[in-house]
Structure 1
Amino acid sequence: MDWTAYLPMLWQGAVVTMTITLASIVVGAALAFFFGILRVEGGPILSAVALCYTEVFRGTSLLVQLFWFYYALPLVGLSFEPITTGILVLAAHVGGYGAEIVRGALSSVSTQQLEAARALNFNRFQTLFRISLPQAVVEMMPAFGNLAIETLKLSSLVSLISIADLTFSAQSIRNLTLDSTSIYSITLVCYFAMSLMLMVAIKAIERFVRRGDVLSRAGH
Structure 2
Amino acid sequence: MSDTFGYLNLILQGAIVTVELTIMGSILALIVAFLAGLGRVSRYFAVRALATTYIEFFRGTSIFVQLFFVYFVLPIMGISLTPLQAGVLGLGLNVGAYGAEVVRGAILAIGREQYEACVALNLSRWQCMRRVILPQALLLMLPTFGNNAIELLKATSVVSLISLADMTFQAQVVRSQTGSTFMPFVTILVLYFVFAGLITLGVRALERRMARGLDGVRV
* TM-score category, normalised to shorter length: over 0.9
| Counterpart mapping for 1:22-61 below 5 A | 22-61=23-62
User: How far 1:174 moved relative to its partner?
Assistant: 0.5
Normalised to the residue count of structure 2, the TM-score between the two structures is 0.95
Q: Deviation digits for residues 126-179 of structure 1, max 9, x if unmatched?
A: 111112111100100111111111110001101110001000000001000001
Letter in 2 for 1:168: F
User: How far 1:183 moved relative to its partner?
Assistant: 1.5
Q: Deviation digits for residues 27-71 of structure 1, max 9, x if unmatched?
A: 110110111111112511101101111111111100110001111
Q: Distance in 2 between matches of 1:113 and 1:212?
A: 17
Letter in 1 for 2:212: R
Q: Distance in 2 between matches of 1:186 and 1:214?
A: 44
| Counterpart mapping for 1:1-220 below 5 A | 2-217=3-218
Q: Deviation digits for residues 89-144 of structure 1, max 9, x if unmatched?
A: 11101210000000000011111221121122111111111121111001001111
**Partner SS state of residue 90, structure 1:** helix
Normalised to the residue count of structure 1, the TM-score between the two structures is 0.95
Is the CA contact 2:131–2:217 (under 8 Å) kept in the aligned structure 1?
no
Is the CA contact 2:11–2:184 (under 8 Å) kept in the aligned structure 1?
no
Q: Distance in 1 between matches of 2:4 and 2:65?
A: 33
Q: Distance in 1 between matches of 2:211 and 2:60?
A: 32
Runs of 5+ in structure 2 lacking a partner? none
Runs of 4+ in 1 over 2 A off after TM superposition: 1-5, 214-217
Q: CA RMSD in A?
A: 1.4
Is the CA contact 1:3–1:173 (under 8 Å) kept in the aligned structure 2?
no
Q: Distance in 2 between matches of 1:121 and 1:5?
A: 65
Q: Distance in 1 between matches of 2:59 and 2:179?
A: 37
